[in-house]
Structure 1
Amino acid sequence: MLTIKEAGRYANFLQKNIDLLKNFFINDTLVFNTREEHLKSKVLKGESDEIKLIEERSDLDVSLEDAIHLIESLINKKMELSMAINNAKSKTLVDWIENSEKLPLDTAIEYSKNLRNFAMCPLEDLTLNRSEEYIKDGIGYLINNEGNQSQYHYEIKIIKKINYDRNIVKSLYKKILNKADLLSEAIDKAMLKKSVEFEMEYNLHDSLEDLVEKFKKHRAIKGS
């Protein structure tokens, strides 16, 4: 049995190892046995031909076939876990009321995310704006006495004033961010209380090598 939060971590763990195992097939020297025939005698008489076998072994002690089956197994495990998480989430309400109703977990997560994004941008940016004045260079053109166009420089005074009440924005920024923080706490509590019907086959701290060894032992037992 897992909490929803633990189940989410385990789902990430499974995906990480799926991705690592798929890298196993990128290396051609692990996928193919290569034989090089250096035909030196065709060019120089008296030279002997040379045979080289190119073999490279992975640090991972697993056959190609076992790696394929392990990936398939992990993908299936993640699918089962995803279904169990969705089932647990559908029955989980967060201790947070909006419009006279408690929020379902996924709705609360999305609502919290939108509140926080709104607080950080644009509200936070708006709280940092200031009215300002500065000078920049302007360029003008005129016709001189000889009838030629000439250029001249002058100052442009820029006056920028914010056209909103910054105090109102600052107050709303704090209110929205505080609400998002409190809602996140309520979400965490809900995720720690609700159980996901799933048994972990591997430990969260297992390395890829650990997964391979456990998988091989399990297959050996199953095959015997």
Structure 2
Amino acid sequence: MNLKEAFQAQNKIGELMEYITCYLSDEDNVMTVTEKHLRSKALAGQPDDTVDVSCKGEEGFAVERLITIWQELMEEKERLGQAIGKAKAGMRFNLDAAVEGNKSRRAFLSMLQDLANCKSSHELQKGEGCGYVFNNDGNQTAYRYDIDRIMTIDYDRNKVRAIVKELNRTADEVSIKIDEALLQTPVDYTPKFDLAGESRFILEEMMER
């Protein structure tokens, strides 16, 4: 398989392990609850009864078998991780650094694009100002006045746009390089399990092995 398929398999194994953890974390799935109706103690001659009132999930997975499957998946995850590590070590560039670098570029570009689109403006706020003067009688009197709110950008938008263009070009080039590496880099790994389909159905098949 190639590196892209290996990462997909890695994600699926992690998803299955999380599914098992959530299932076993639900007390209803790991306990059988019975109620004993002690009628004979209340009224002689009345039959006692035992009722199963468990609320297990519809999957009905056997707990111990599920724990074993989690351990098998953990081993598989480690084996796959080692195979991915060897594949990445043989690449001509650092894949992890390239991916993280592009995440940073894309995040910064989102902010820069907002700066590039920002414009200076002004807003006339009628009657928003308030001042005080003394009238002819010597009394303090309030008066209202307009405020012209002026907002001016503190940078050269053309320079920001140029940076946006350059960062986009670099990010696109790195993305292409990453995509090619994911498709062309072989990983020496053969899945032990069939990982196609929904987690529940995959686990049901594994339970039957």
TM-score (norm 1): 0.78
Contact 1:38 1:51 in 2 (8 A): yes
The aligned counterpart of 1:157 is 148
Cα RMSD for the two superposed structures: 2.7
Map 1:23-38 → 2, pairs under 5 A:
23-38=22-37
**Whole-angstrom CA distance in 1 between matches of 2:123 and 2:202:** 64
Contact 2:124–2:147 (CA under 8 A) maintained in structure 1 = yes
Q: Which residue does 1:53 correspond to in 2?
A: 52
Q: Does the aligned pair in 2 maintain the 1:202–1:211 contact within 8 Å? A: no
CA contact (8 A) 1:89 1:105 kept: yes
Q: Greater strand share, 1 or 2?
A: 1
Which residue identity lines up with residue 21 of structure 2 in the other structure? Answer: K
What pairs with 1:1-224 in structure 2 (closer than 5 Å)? 2-39=1-38, 49-93=48-92, 103-121=93-111, 123-136=112-125, 137-140=128-131, 151-207=142-198, 208-217=200-209
User: Is the Cα contact below 8 Å between 2:17 and 2:70 reproduced in 1?
Assistant: yes
Amino acid at match of 2:203: L
Deviations 1:22-55 (A, max 9, x none): 2222333321121212345666788665432223
Q: What count of residue pairs does the alignment treat as equivalent?
A: 205
How far the C-alpha of 1:125 sits from its partner, in A, is 1.3
- 1:90·1:105 contact (CA, 8 Å) conserved in 2? no
Shift of 1:65: 0.6
Is the CA contact 1:70–1:212 (under 8 Å) kept in the aligned structure 2?
A: no
Q: Deviations over 1:136-182 (max 9, x none)?
A: 322345677686x7654322111122222211211210121121012
Q: Percent identity?
A: 29
Aligned residue type for 1:23: C
Answer whether contact 2:66 2:207 (CA < 8 A) is retained.
no
**Paired residue type of 2:57:** S
State the distance in 1 between where 2:52 and 2:134 align.
84
Q: Aligned letter for 1:54?
A: V
CA distance in 2, matches of 1:84, 1:141: 78
**Residues 211, 54 of structure 1: CA spacing in aligned structure 2 closer, same or farther, 3 A cutoff?**
same
CA distance in 1, matches of 2:162, 2:192: 49
What displacement does 1:112 show?
Answer: 2.1
Q: Is the 8 A contact 2:6 2:187 kept in 1?
A: yes
Question: Retained in 2: the 8 A contact 1:33–1:55?
Answer: yes
Unaligned segments of structure 2, at least 5 residues? none
TM-score (structure 2 length as normaliser): 0.83
Equivalent-residue separation in structure 2 for 1:87 and 1:170 (angstroms): 41
Match of 1:201, SS? coil
Structure 1's unaligned 5+ residue stretches are 94-102, 218-224
